[in-house]
């Protein structure tokens, strides 16, 4: 039996890629790159030197002919005719970042061509996603001749049929089409079966950008490239694969963002404290996009569109600060809903379900998608979070690798009012009385499509490396793979049998780790593990460890070095506890003399115990501390700076058998 507290690292599967060495050698020779970069390319399915050159060196001029996309020419010609006639054109968007950026992009492009367009974005809570009858009726009353949908419309066949005789509806969307394609004036979506556009994974803003390219070309104009900053923001935020054209568009857009080409985006970046000249796709995903998303989640998404269209830097800063404040509110609401969702999972015994389905009255529908993501972080299971109001639930879903959420919803579509989305994220609405049936059907679907291993998070390792491979030059070369994201993750390497010279908790509340290790080939390397302080509960100085990491550059006092950003760390050799009951008594006595006098920080306590208890293996000492915590002989508290141990007075006699760790390793005690 293994120690209970080791479960965290045991549950992470390291899967090693085994690329063809001959293919690696050929890429290395033909492209004049290192074997490390060649192996990483092969692991991404890039085995041909021509494909590798495209992947590494394509730019905005490498995009496919926009007229290959079905209905693009038809839609673009109708829009140009509307501009010439002075007809009323409305861009109908969505309230997430993809929809907001798509709306701003098409609006700006139309203005550049001499149009005087308007835009409409539904309010998330009262109107919901996509086209709705009230909005279309209002647009028709306002004598709108052309409606251009962005990031929506493909699932609105009935509404489009109802209104297509009253106004021309041009649909641009990237979501999975159903069997019923809307009868719009033009339907532009590369995922249609008869669409000849080679790249199918564009975000909504990417599809809108393709239409804008076609408009420019037909109008004999150039310059739409200046809006790739909007495309990059929407593409990264929508979690589509950063491969092919998405990668080209994001790379170009990031370079334009770093040049400060959009006042709204610059203002948003300023609120994060990031350096706009060094912005990355990761910065967009985790810092910038959530602030823009907050407009649609808490207030109204039109604020985000106005920000991206703003041409006055001072006004942009004011709006960005407002969105920053909204994002803070969003975080507070999200934490409350996540806590309630976890409580429901645990109080109703859903932990053993294959798919988590939870619902709550009045949960803010604008943040339930984030709450679903938090459930995956905690349980690593496909998660559906539903907000109930007046007998109807609005749901948001997030998935795990191997579970296609869109297909899962489609398998029980008769239970749903409507649904749409992707393999990894989707939305739906459902009658409250059907939620239990939905839970049952989703679990049945998962039992047929997932195995036990699918519920264990995976680290896909690109290569085992030596210490000498981790250099500044290596990191620079690997940067050719950027931007990183879905479908093109940051390379992950493993350093085996490294000797740990130092391990130390850092940061506020000591939640992070800093380590120094020496590789087998004698290279001394430093690394940081974000939110990995729990590893110090069982890994010690002088331990031999395997390190899963991503290399990055670290500049300190004008000196740049390569450091390890840890993703996981485990002991090279299996540890089995050898504690005896007498050992437990001896450790308790030493602990009492130190913590019994008043609260002590967890890190100080750990160091003191390891120094003071010299006749017992250090790993056994840490095991004993875990047992004492489970028995509440040791309790933790925290403030803004650190986490502390205390030893409260014991009111009753305790049994070691009350500790899960003790029971798990009882044969050794």
**Tokens 């005690």 belong to which residue?**
669
> What pLDDT does residue 578 have?
81
Q: Using one digit for the tens of pLDDT, what is the confidence trace for 406-449?
A: 999 999 999 999 888 878 889 999 999 999 999 999 999 999 99
With tokens 């019994």, the residue in question is: 596
DSSP secondary structure letters along 238-294: TT---SHHHHHHHHHHHHHHHTT--HHHHHHHHHHT--GGG--HHHIIIIIHHHHHH
Q: Lowest-confidence range among 249-258, 471-480, 538-547, 552-561?
A: 552-561
DSSP helix/strand/coil, 99: helix
For the segment 455-509, what is each residue's pLDDT rounded down to a tens digit? 988 899 999 999 999 999 999 999 999 999 888 989 999 999 999 999 998 887 7
Please report, for residues 51, 70, 153, 371, the alpha-carbon distance to residue 65 in angstroms, rounded to integers and kept in the order given. Answer: 18, 11, 24, 40
| pLDDT for residue 300 is more than 90 | no
Q: Is the per-residue pLDDT at 666 higher than 60? A: no
**Rounded percentage of the chain residues whose pLDDT exceeds 70:** 97
In the predicted model, is pLDDT for residue 276 greater than 80? yes
- DSSP letters along 385-450, please? EEEEETTEEEEEEE--TT--HHHHHHTTGGGEEEEEE-SSEEEEEEEGGGHHHHHHHHHHHHHHH-
Confidence of residue 654 (pLDDT cuts 50, 70, 90): confident
State the Cα–Cα distance between residues 355 and 441, nearest whole angstrom: 10
CA distance 570 to 547: 7
Instruction: Evaluate if residue 9 carries a pLDDT over 50.
Output: no
Concatenate the DSSP letters of all residues of 171-199 into one string: EE--SPP-SS----SEEE-TTSTT---S-
* pLDDT for position 33: 95
Note the helical H segments in 91-132: 97-112, 124-127
Best mean pLDDT range from 73-87, 211-225, 456-470, 582-596: 73-87
Residue 325 φ then ψ, to 5°: -65, -40
Provide the terminal-to-terminal Cα distance of the chain, rounded to the nearest Å.
12
pLDDT for res 433? 96
Q: Report the C-alpha gap between 109 and 223 in whole angstroms.
A: 10
- pTM tops 0.85, yes or no: no
User: Please, which residues have CB within 8 angstroms of residue 32's CB and are 6 or more apart in sequence?
Assistant: none
- DSSP state string for 479-513: GGGPSPBTTBPPP-EEEEEEEEEEEEEESGGG-EE
Q: What is the pLDDT of residue 10?
A: 42
Check if the beta carbon of residue 101 is closer than 8 Å to that of residue 233. Answer: yes
Q: Residue 266 and residue 494: Cα distance in Å, rounded?
A: 37
Contact criterion met (CB below 8 Å) for 357 and 442: yes
Angstrom distance (rounded) from CA 442 to CA 382: 9
Query: What pLDDT shows up at residue 41?
Result: 95
Name residues whose C-beta falls within 8 Å of residue 451's C-beta, 6 or more positions apart in sequence.
none
Task: Find, among 172, 139, 111, 150, the residue nearest to 309 by Cα.
Answer: 111
Give me the percent of the chain exceeding a pLDDT of 90: 72
Task: Indicate the pLDDT class of residue 639, thresholds 50, 70 and 90.
Answer: confident
How far apart CA 124 and CA 334 sit, in angstroms, is 16
Cβ pair 19, 39 in contact under 8 A: yes
Is residue 190 within 8 A of residue 174, CB to CB? The reply is: yes
pLDDT one-digit tens code per residue, 606-622: 999 999 999 999 999 99
DSSP-based three-state secondary structure for 625: helix
- Taking only the tens place, the pLDDT of each residue in 555-567 is 888 899 999 999 9
42-98 residue pLDDT tens: 999 999 999 999 999 999 999 999 999 999 999 999 999 999 999 999 999 998 999
CA distance 191 to 201: 8
pLDDT tens digits, 100-117: 999 999 999 999 999 999
Between 302-309 and 313-347, two packed helices, what is the crossing angle to 10 degrees?
A: 150
pLDDT of residue 478: 95
User: Hey, how many other C-beta atoms are within 10 angstroms of the C-beta on 160?
Assistant: 24
Indicate whether 2 pLDDT > 60: no
Task: Give me the pLDDT at residue 1, please.
Answer: 30
Higher-confidence residue of 355 and 596: namely 355
Are 461 and 16 within 8 A, CB to CB?
yes
Q: What is the mean pLDDT of the chain?
A: 91
How far is 122 from 92, CA to CA, in rounded Å?
Answer: 8
Of residues 598 and 544, the one with the higher pLDDT is: 544
Contacts of 313 (CB under 8 A, 6+ apart): 263, 266, 267
For residue 319, pLDDT beyond 60: yes
Cβ within 8 Å of residue 289, ≥6 positions away: 97, 233, 236, 237
Taking a C-beta distance cutoff of 8 angstroms, is the pair 265, 233 a contact? yes
pLDDT of the residue at 323: 92
Cα–Cα nearest to 203, from 486, 488, 490, 491: 486
pLDDT of amino acid 11: 64
Cis amide prior to 483 (ω within 30 degrees): yes
Look at residue 296 and tell me whether its pLDDT is greater than 90: no
Q: Would the pLDDT of 522 be above 80?
A: yes
Judged by DSSP in three states, 339 sits in helix
pLDDT, tens digit (0-9, with 9 covering 90-100), for 368-386: 988 999 999 899 999 999 9
- According to the model, what pLDDT value does residue 222 have? 79
Q: pLDDT tens digits for 173-205?
A: 999 898 899 999 999 999 999 999 999 999 999
CA distance to 64, 118, 190, 200, per residue, from 194 (Å): 17, 31, 9, 12
CA distances from 449 to 406, 442, 522 (A): 13, 11, 46
Question: Looking at the predicted structure, is the pLDDT value of residue 262 above 70?
Answer: yes
Q: What string of H, E and C letters represents the secondary structure of 38-98?
A: HHHHHHCCCCCHHHHHHHHHCCHHHCCCHHHCCCHHHHHHHHHHHHHHCCCEEEECCCCHH
pLDDT tens per residue across span 123-159: 876 776 788 999 999 999 999 999 999 999 998 999 9
């Amino acid at each position: 039996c293994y120690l209970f507290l080791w479960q965290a690292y045991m549950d992470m599967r390291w899967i090693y890629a085994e690329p063809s060495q001959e293919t690696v050698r050929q890429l290395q020779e033909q492209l004049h790159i290192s074997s490390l970069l060649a192996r990483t390319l092969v692991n991404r399915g890039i085995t041909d030197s021509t494909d590798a050159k495209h992947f590494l060196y394509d730019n905005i001029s490498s995009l496919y002919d926009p007229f290959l996309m079905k209905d693009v020419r038809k839609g673009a010609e109708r829009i140009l005719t509307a501009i010439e006639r002075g007809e009323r054109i409305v861009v109908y968007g969505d309230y997430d970042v993809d929809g907001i950026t798509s709306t701003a992009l098409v609006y700006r492009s139309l203005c550049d061509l001499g149009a005087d367009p308007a835009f409409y974005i539904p309010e998330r809570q009262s109107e919901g996603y996509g086209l709705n009858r009230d909005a279309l009726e209002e647009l028709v009353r306002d004598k709108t001749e052309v409606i251009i949908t962005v990031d929506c419309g493909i699932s609105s066949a009935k509404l489009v049929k109802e209104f297509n005789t009253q106004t021309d509806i041009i649909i641009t969307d990237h979501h999975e089409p159903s069997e019923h394609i809307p009868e719009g004036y033009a339907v532009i979506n590369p995922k249609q079966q008869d669409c000849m556009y080679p790249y199918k994974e564009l975000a909504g803003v990417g599809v809108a950008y393709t239409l804008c390219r076609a408009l420019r070309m037909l109008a004999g104009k150039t310059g739409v490239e200046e809006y790739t900053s909007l495309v990059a923001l929407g593409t990264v935020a929508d979690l589509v694969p950063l491969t092919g054209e998405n990668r080209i568009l994001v790379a170009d857009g990031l370079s334009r963002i770093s040049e400060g080409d959009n006042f709204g985006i610059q203002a948003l970046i300023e609120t994060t404290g990031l350096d706009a000249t060094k912005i990355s796709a990761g910065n967009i995903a985790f810092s910038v996009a959530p602030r823009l998303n907050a407009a649609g989640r808490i207030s109204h998404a039109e604020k985000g569109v106005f920000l991206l269209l703003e041409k006055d830097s001072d006004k942009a800063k004011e709006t960005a600060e407002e969105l920053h404040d909204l994002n803070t509110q969003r975080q507070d609401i999200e934490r409350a809903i996540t806590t309630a969702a976890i409580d429901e999972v645990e109080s109703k015994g859903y932990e053993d379900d294959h798919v988590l389905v939870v619902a709550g009255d009045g949960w803010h529908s604008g943040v339930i998608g984030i709450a679903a993501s938090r459930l995956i972080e905690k349980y690593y299971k496909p998660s559906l979070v539903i907000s109930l109001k007046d007998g109807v639930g609005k749901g948001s879903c997030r998935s795990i690798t191997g579970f296609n959420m869109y297909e899962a919803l489609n398998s029980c579509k008769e239970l749903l009012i409507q649904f749409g989305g992707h393999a990894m994220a989707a939305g739906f609405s459902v009658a409250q009385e059907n939620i239990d049936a939905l839970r049952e059907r989703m679990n049945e679907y998962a039992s047929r499509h997932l195995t036990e291993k699918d519920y264990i998070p995976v680290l896909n390792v690109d290569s085992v490396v030596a210490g000498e491979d981790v250099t500044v030059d290596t990191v620079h070369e690997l940067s050719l793979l950027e931007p990183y994201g879905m479908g093109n993750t940051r390379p992950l390497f493993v350093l085996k049998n490294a000797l740990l010279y130092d391990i130390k908790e850092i940061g506020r509340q000591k939640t992070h780790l800093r380590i120094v290790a020496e590789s087998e080939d004698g290279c001394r390397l430093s690394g940081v593990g974000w939110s990995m302080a729990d590893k110090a509960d069982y890994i010690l100085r002088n331990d031999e460890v395997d390190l899963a990491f991503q290399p990055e550059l670290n500049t300190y006092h004008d000196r740049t070095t390569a450091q390890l950003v840890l993703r996981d760390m485990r002991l090279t050799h299996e540890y089995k506890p050898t504690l005896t009951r007498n050992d437990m008594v001896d450790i308790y006595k030493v602990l009492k003399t130190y913590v019994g006098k008043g609260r002590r920080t967890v890190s100080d306590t750990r160091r003191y115990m390891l120094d003071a208890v010299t006749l017992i293996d250090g790993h056994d000492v840490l095991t004993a501390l875990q047992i004492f915590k489970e028995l509440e002989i040791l309790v933790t508290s925290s403030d803004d700076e650190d986490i502390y141990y205390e030893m409260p007075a014991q009111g009753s006699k305790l049994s070691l058998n009350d500790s899960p760790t003790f029971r798990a390793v009882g044969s050794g005690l």
